[in-house]
Structure 1
Amino acid sequence: MNSFSLRPALPSDLDALTRLEQRCFSSDRLSRRSFRKWLKRQHAGLMVVEREGELGGYALVLLQPGTRLARLYSIAVDPGFRGQRLGEQLMDAAEEYAHQERRLYLRLEVRKDNPAAIALYEKRGYRLFGLAPDYYEDHQDALRYQKRLHYQPANAEQIHLPWVQQSTPFTCGPACLLMALAALRNQPADTTEELLLWREATTIYMTAGHGGCHPMGLAIAAHKRGLNASVWCNQQGPLFVDSVRDTDKKRVITTLHEHFARSCKAQQIPVHYQDFTAYDLDSAIAQGKVVLVLISTWRLDGRKAPHWVAISGSDEECFYIHDPDPGEDQVPLDCQHVPIAREKFEQMRKYGQAKLRTAVVLGG
């Protein structure tokens, strides 16, 4: 093993990486185009081990922007060099890269029928936290493992919250509400129900495209479906009017806001005109409630868009979110129980010039 050296991959490694991938895998291969992309990407670490100019293996780690999460996307050791502990050397490098990038967790997927790899990961302190059925091209399941890199493992208060992917660009709120309904009432997710929820809760207009969902609108829709709901908002008056310039659109948004406020009052849905603090969020999670929080996506994808996420747990360092909208180069697994450092989350949950902070708290 001492004869092998570890270094970052270079564009000149492209051909060798492609050949190595062909030798190591019969399916689920990374393409030459993919390797070229990862060699250029800012939020990725691609490392190789080599001896006398010959590649013995590689590890690819992706960093999820705006979070404290890294993912071991792929790792491979040339069959001709196995038995020389190159896998462990690459794992060391992957963990060190994630650590240097200040990630709290490194996550990975492994085939359920690969006991050697599973044994290696568990030996290194990785803990099983999920199953992804039918994950690989041959329909084999994947086991999901993670390792806490910076601190000792914490006892996260975690709700069993099923994840739901939004089916349109504007139904993040309804998708999050479907998660709550699945957790609290065992109601399966349904695209028709998602769209109906949006029709009930939408503001109609936003800066571009269809309008998102008003917190009171989501609370009313949840109440109608048998959940206890309350709204927390740090400001009174119409929400989201700053996101449009047209006077007629502002009037529509204002009309809907007033309707939602009257409906909440008539249905005795509590509306608290104050900030929902981190302490309140921890308390709600401890009581088994599901909290939907409006965030700005700026720190996730560089766009200042309002976006609803569901909170799946918390610990001393992080809040964990279910994000219903996989971004570019993400798979659904990347959007579940995403750890966001508490100080970062406080920054994310402010939207717009008015620094709107709002949440919908749901119970069974």
Structure 2
Amino acid sequence: MLACLPLAADTVSGYVLDTQTEQRLVGIEVAFLVGGEEGLTEMVRRRTDEEGAFSFSGPFLTPGTTFVLVAHHEGLEYDTEPLQVGMQDQVIIEVFDGTEDDGQIRLDGHHLFLAITKAGVDVAQLVHIDNDGASTYIGRAFGDERRVFQMQVPAGSLAPQGHSGQVLRAGPTRLFTTTPLPPGRSQIAFTIQLRGDDFDGSYEHEVLYPTSRLEVFVQPTDIELPASQFEDHGEIHLHDQGYRHYRMRDLDRGRTVAIPLPYSQPLRWSLKWAMLVLVPALLAAAVALTRPAAAAPPAGATRSQCEQLIAQLADIDDRLDTADERGVFTLQQQRQQLKKQVTLLYRQLDDTTG
């Protein structure tokens, strides 16, 4: 969260504000990161002074330089949107108290894609998370890690892959993320695979958070789900692929939804859809179908840009496994900024094609 007010082109200054007390915070570390071809690079850190203010100056502050500020407060990171030197006066970084209470978390839309393939079932999920509270949800600590957003998957699921940041495994049927959820909306996307030999014909979806809408997309399109539970919205096409679209509304925490998927040998060999390759465009198109129309976006968003950013995110996730402490920090900042760019481009694509 930030606000910007116009400053000298060779200086970037501002302060860190606690949104609950409306007080400036003293002694908060603020990092200055500069954007480049390889992503964001941290240049320097400063602590806020006795008035909660910070100021950066130096030869790297040339007019037009893209930069990001990151405030470190109580183990959480609060980063600004990408800014440009000389385009704003003060930068106000807003921080929130952290909470482990997930009672403020609800899901506006949970998009679930289930496609029968020759090898089994490909699964993609896109989740819109609303934090309705005034505090950042930080999850619960387990040893050295903090599990924030929990996700249920069937036992035996393979190859979990995050498309909006890292997705880690907590157990046979649980995945989780580690990124805190500030007040407002966040988005998580991930994919898994189910082996055909192990699939019993029913996909079990457990509701872990109150959910306004469960949007289910199944392939092939002749799959029929029980009319007593699912609204049938008919056949649709997303990214040149046909799906049957179903919907459930107002799901309470703890509910289990059984989705029958007939799985037979002929289907294994007749369908050859690559879920993992198409997931970025697929999820974007699905959101356009299931939300109200928005105002016209700025031009210039292309699928090739999205694909390039997704590839950069995947590369960062690979590098995180072997990075040292400082490298991890830099890579995490780069990943956060790429996520924001991907989300913006997806929204532009949604509105252009919706």
Same-fold call, TM cutoff 0.5 = no
Q: Compare CA radii of gyration and give the structure with the larger one.
A: 1
Q: TM-score, normalised by structure 2?
A: 0.30
TM-score (norm 1): 0.29
| Structure with more of its chain in helix, by fraction | 1
Greater strand content: 2
